[in-house]
Amino acid sequence: MPAPHPKEFRDDVVAVARRGEAPVKQIAKDFGIWRVLPAQLDARR
C-alpha cells in the first residue's frame, strides 16, 4: 500500500515546519496531515 502522501510532499511540509514561520499544529492542519507531522519531524532529527 503506498504512503498516503508522496515523500516529496512530506519533505516539503517538514521544510515549512522547520522554518518556524507558523506553529507546527497550524502547518499540519493547513496541509491536512495533522496526525503525522510530529512523527515526520521526529523521524528527521
The string of DSSP letters for 10-26 reads HHHHHHHHHHTSS-HHH
Residues 4-44 have pLDDT tens digits of 788 898 889 889 888 998 988 888 888 887 666 666 666 76
Question: Which pLDDT value is given to residue 1?
Answer: 47
CA quadruple 11, 25, 43, 39: dihedral positive or negative? negative
pTM of the model: 0.63
User: Do 37 and 24 form a contact (C-beta atoms < 8 A)?
Assistant: yes
Is residue 2 pLDDT above 60, yes or no? no
Q: Which amino acid is at 23?
A: P
**Quick one: pLDDT at residue 19?**
93
